Amino acid sequence: MNETATGAPAQRDSFEAEFSVDGEPRVLLPAGEYQAVCVRAEVVEMFKFGRSRKVFLHFELYGGAYAGQRLFMPMAIPQKGHKIGRGSKLYANYLIANGQPPGRRDRLSLKVFKNRLFRVMVKSVVPLFEDGTPKPPWFHYSRVGELLERLA
């Protein structure tokens, strides 16, 4: 083991550390309406500003110049044991996916989204620095803002 002039073990330079990047690069598309199939759902516990939960629906664009591109739609969900509000984004999108209110008042299943084709509204996200100015273009990305209609 190498030692410094003081006899202490030599420390490796932290600038030598390397990290891998999680997930796929985010896509930036023109905002507007697209057709997309919901291919996956995930529930995530988040701790950024306290404790919160989100469901992320993942969509693959269908047809057109951007077919195959993957986008996500985040929606807040309540903590376990709490109910989903009728004014929530999840409830509104559930109604579009299901074509009617849930059969039981105490249950709302994400299965209504699985492998279904939707007409969706895609929006662009422009993250901001703390002073409110937009971050450079390589931070910008697209996501599904809302479901407009279930097609199949």
Give the global pTM.
0.84
Instruction: Give pLDDT tens digits along the chain (152 positions).
Output: 455 566 656 567 888 889 999 888 899 999 999 999 999 999 998 776 667 899 999 999 999 999 999 999 999 998 888 889 999 999 999 999 999 998 877 688 999 999 999 999 999 999 999 999 999 999 999 999 999 999 99
What does the H/E/C string look like for the chain? CCECCCCCECCCCHHHCCCCCCCCCCCCCCCEEEEEEEEEEEEEEECCCCCEEEEEEEEEECCCCCCCCEEEEEEEECCCCCCCCCCCHHHHHHHHHHCCCCCCCCCCCHHHCCCCEEEEEEEEECCECCCCCECCHHHCEEEEEEEEEECC
* Rounded CA separation 92/97 (Å): 9
The predicted pLDDT at position 107 comes to 81
Instruction: Copy the structure tokens of residue 18.
Output: 């390397």
Domains of the chain: 30-150 (2.40.50)
Q: What is the pLDDT of residue 14?
A: 85
